[in-house]
Amino acid sequence: MSRWEPGAYSRLQQAALELYVERGFEQTTVAEIAQRAGLTERTFFRHFADKREVLFDGAGLLKELLVNTVATAPDPVAPLDAVAAALDAAAEMLGGRAEWSRERQDVINANPALQERELIKMASLATAIAETLRQRGVAEPAASLTAEAGIAVFRVAFERWISDPQGQDLRHLVRDSLDELRAITTGG
């Protein structure tokens, strides 16, 4: 093996997901992931702290995207509209990875510890959005309620997206779920 392999990150990520789907998360080792990717364990650990991080590595980028989108929304925009713009940006970021997202979620759903990690990630995203809304001058409890509702909208849309055999666009499903939330909160 050469010292530098192009595409090592994505190869490791793909190899790990394939093995998790084939064998299960718990039954897969880092050595097997590296071998499947044609790389060394050392290379694996240059990219990921542990085998869970393969599934959660993008959480930091997602959080940054959500926070930045809310923070840079025009001033007169309503808090829920700022969060809607952030969810739209997140949907666009994930939109091209439907099959990977579906398989990733299947692996998470099969493992209680990974489910807990996913819930913690979602709570962290809601906390970050709420803090950003507070920095924009949104008072409590409105900031927390808006952030939590936004994450709930995203989770519902995401679940619909990965289980949709027709392959609807995630952005469409986010907007549709947000419209549903608005309808039930306004009595319409």
Q: Is the pLDDT of residue 94 over 60?
A: yes
Instruction: Report pLDDT for 1.
Output: 46
* Same domain as 70, residue 21: no
Alpha helices per DSSP H over the chain: 8-23, 30-37, 41-47, 53-56, 59-71, 79-94, 98-109, 112-135, 142-163, 170-186
CA distance 117 to 101: 16
Asked whether the beta carbons of 73 and 140 are under 8 A apart, the reply is no
* Same domain as 151, residue 71: yes
How many domains does the chain divide into?
2
Is residue 2 domain-resident? no
Give 179 or 96, the one with higher predicted confidence: 179
* Same domain as 132, residue 110: yes
* Same domain as 91, residue 34: no
* Same domain as 155, residue 181: yes
Range scoring the smallest mean pLDDT among 20-24, 94-98, 109-113, 114-118? 94-98
Q: Which whole-number Å values give the CA distances from 4 to 32, 42, 121, 143, in the listed order?
A: 19, 12, 32, 46
Domain boundary among 32, 49, 66: 49
* Same domain as 130, residue 63: yes
Give every CB contact of residue 137 below 8 A, 6+ residues apart in sequence: none
Instruction: Report pLDDT for 27.
Output: 97
Q: Is the pLDDT of residue 101 over 50?
A: yes
* Same domain as 94, residue 115: yes
Asked whether the beta carbons of 73 and 81 are under 8 A apart, the reply is yes
Phi, psi dihedral angles at 172 (to 5 degrees) = -60, -45
Q: Is the pLDDT of residue 4 over 90?
A: no
Residue 33: give its domain's CATH number. 1.10.10.60
Mean pLDDT of 85-107: 93
* Same domain as 98, residue 119: yes
CA distance 124 to 136: 18
What is the rounded radius of gyration, in angstroms, for the C-alpha atoms of the chain? Answer: 18
**Residue 23 belongs to what domain range?**
8-49
User: CA torsion, points 181, 182, 185, 188, in degrees to nearest 10?
Assistant: -110
Instruction: Report pLDDT for 154.
Output: 97
Mind listing the pLDDT tens digit for each residue in 127-171? 999 999 999 999 999 999 999 999 999 999 999 999 987 778 999
Mind listing the pLDDT tens digit for each residue in 23-81? 999 999 999 999 999 999 999 999 999 999 999 998 999 999 999 999 999 989 999 99
The token duo for 183 is 């309808």
* Same domain as 175, residue 105: yes
* Same domain as 149, residue 130: yes
Instruction: Report pLDDT for 5.
Output: 57
Instruction: Report pLDDT for 155.
Output: 96
Asked whether the beta carbons of 71 and 136 are under 8 A apart, the reply is yes
Asked whether the beta carbons of 66 and 89 are under 8 A apart, the reply is yes
